[in-house]
Structure 1
Amino acid sequence: MKNVPLADVDHVDRAVLPIGTDYPPGHVLDWHEHRRAQFLYGATGVMIVDTAEGTWTVPPERAVLIPAATRHRVHMLGVSTRSLYIEPDAVPWWPVTCTVVDVSALLRELLLVAVGFEIDYGLSGREGAIAALLLHEIAERAPLPFHVGIPASADLARLCRAYLAAPDAGVTNAAWAARTAMSERAFTRRFRSEAGDSPAVWRARARLLAAVPLLRTASVSEVGGRLGYASPAAFTAAFTRTFGLPPSRFAASRQGVGRNRNS
């Protein structure tokens, strides 16, 4: 199924509903939730998924697992998706929070085939076997660390979301503490207790996450400079240390060749 609203087919008696959707550049799916769990794969482009608990950046040709009934928002940056909407009781092993995962060559091809199914595809033949195999393949996926947590407190959450929208290497703990009318020491202690990281570590990770969409249209050197790194080597080292992959894997010069390599 292509470009079919989930609401039109959610009632269908199939554990797995494959839907492919093409989005205009910069499209935002505003806050919403699904009754079903969702496997959201970006065949092209970058997706940024927000929930109350955090932000997940989904690089090209990766996917995010979204739990059922999770309120979320998605920014689509040049994205064509292949989604699976899955009955929760069919995937009791599904993660309880959003999770970015790799996508193998086999899983990618299965997704491309599945979105061509009719709404009431047969369960006993080839199509039913593909739907079942999709769940087995998803269960084997390795999680990727492309996310940051968002503190529960409204004031800290506002600071974090504003920083994610416009990361600035010059921001300091003292500046953030002043905006919350707290001492720097008290602010740092409170932030760490809610976010799990110090403010400086959180900001560094957020800046690196911001690099992923920027790499769609700019070189590693340009992105590193824009994010305040002293050299491309310093940016590459920080990115690789945090995410386990060099930024060159997502750079503009590599887009369009991903289908020739395994994720």
Structure 2
Amino acid sequence: MVKNAPSESLEAIPRPMVALGNDYPANYEIAPHRHGRAQLLYSGTGTMTVRTEHGAWVVPPEEGVWIPAGIQHSVGMIGQLTTSSIYIDMAAVPDMPATCQVLSISPLMRSLLQAAVNTSPEYEPQSRDGLIMALMLAELRLLPVLPLSLPFPHHHKLARRCRDFLESPHLHQSIDDWADTMAMSRRTFTRLFKRETGMSFAVWMRQACLFSALRRLAQGESVTTIALDLGYDSPSAFTTMFKRVLGVPPSRYLAQPATKS
């Protein structure tokens, strides 16, 4: 069993997968860092935010985030968290994505993650601990991706504008406002934005507002306050958008993982 140890201590363990459990106080921030192995990071309580130079991800309770090896990232905790992580040699998962993704954690994977942090770091492959790890590796490939990512552009000026927007998102900013700020025509701006983020400006802006809303919901703010701050005409309009993207209304979302099947 490995608990509250630095992840670097696991790098030299001669196993393709190792597990680590950590406890974090509320509002703890893990400074930018990177791992030699890929990581699946999961928490049963509290919300996490993950940031890299290429984007941001929000991870609700009982969901997980896939972080490939070598990607520098920071992690913010909303609420007190107990996390379970598995660290995997990339050679064992060549088919997994090369970018961060929020994954929907199945009931089976949730149980396996909880069991994994109690395994011996140098387990025998054919032992019960080894079979837990092997089953977890198979289940990992089947986890659905959740639409909780927000890509940032490589273009320096546009990336800075996107990060500023994320600090105070509002739906009523327009393409023309952004194009004027960047001294571009509307057509040039829309082409640049699509090429840099893979999304249209409208879709990216809605996703940024959703990202902000999830963090604020996790901190206990009301749906009405969040909806109006983001520029929605009414809480019901915000709820409609939220339910269309995530399948449940915001009032139920943070409690939803406990009933996932």
Q: What is the TM-score normalised by the length of structure 1?
A: 0.90
What stretches of structure 1 of length at least 5 have no aligned partner? Answer: none
Structure 1 counterpart of 2:228, one-letter code: G
**Is residue 170–residue 229 contact of structure 2 (8 Å, CA) maintained in 1?**
no
Structure 1 counterpart of 2:123, one-letter code: Y
**Is residue 105–residue 143 contact of structure 2 (8 Å, CA) maintained in 1?**
yes
Name 1:262's counterpart in structure 2: 260
Which residue of 221, 224, 227 corresponds with 2:224?
221
241-250 or 70-79, which deviates more: 241-250
Residue 236 of structure 1 pairs with residue 235 of structure 2: no
Which residue of 166, 178, 181 corresponds with 1:179?
181
- Partners of 1:186 and 1:139 lie apart in 2 by 39
Name 1:17's counterpart in structure 2: 18
- Partners of 1:258 and 1:196 lie apart in 2 by 29
Q: What is the TM-score normalised by the length of structure 2?
A: 0.90
- Partners of 1:188 and 1:92 lie apart in 2 by 34
Q: Structure 1, residues 61-86: CA drift from partner, whole Å, max 9, x if none?
A: 10111111122222222232111001
- Partners of 1:138 and 1:197 lie apart in 2 by 27
- Partners of 2:233 and 2:47 lie apart in 1 by 26
Superposition deviation, residue 132 in structure 1: 0.8
Which residue of 96, 119, 122 corresponds with 1:120?
122
Structure 1 counterpart of 2:28, one-letter code: H
- Partners of 1:155 and 1:202 lie apart in 2 by 17
**Is residue 169–residue 228 contact of structure 1 (8 Å, CA) maintained in 2?**
yes
Superposition deviation, residue 165 in structure 1: 2.1
Residue 141 of structure 1 pairs with residue 143 of structure 2: yes
Superposition deviation, residue 258 in structure 1: 4.3
**Is residue 120–residue 129 contact of structure 2 (8 Å, CA) maintained in 1?**
no
- Partners of 1:95 and 1:39 lie apart in 2 by 12
For these two proteins, the number of residue pairs brought into alignment is: 258
Superposition deviation, residue 206 in structure 1: 0.6
Residue 92 of structure 1 pairs with residue 94 of structure 2: yes
Superposition deviation, residue 242 in structure 1: 2.6
215-224 or 153-162, which deviates more: 215-224
Residue 26 of structure 1 pairs with residue 27 of structure 2: yes
**Is residue 107–residue 138 contact of structure 1 (8 Å, CA) maintained in 2?**
yes
**Is residue 215–residue 250 contact of structure 1 (8 Å, CA) maintained in 2?**
no
Name 1:8's counterpart in structure 2: 9
Name 1:76's counterpart in structure 2: 77
**Is residue 48–residue 56 contact of structure 1 (8 Å, CA) maintained in 2?**
yes
SS at match of 2:44: strand
- Partners of 2:56 and 2:193 lie apart in 1 by 17
**Is residue 37–residue 89 contact of structure 2 (8 Å, CA) maintained in 1?**
yes
Which residue of 231, 239, 250 corresponds with 1:247?
250
**Is residue 227–residue 234 contact of structure 2 (8 Å, CA) maintained in 1?**
yes
RMSD: 2.0
Structure 1 counterpart of 2:244, one-letter code: R
- Partners of 1:137 and 1:196 lie apart in 2 by 28
188-197 or 102-111, which deviates more: 188-197
Superposition deviation, residue 91 in structure 1: 1.4
What stretches of structure 2 of length at least 5 have no aligned partner? Answer: none
Q: Structure 1, residues 184-221: CA drift from partner, whole Å, max 9, x if none?
A: 44323322232233323321221012111111212333
50-59 or 11-20, which deviates more: 50-59
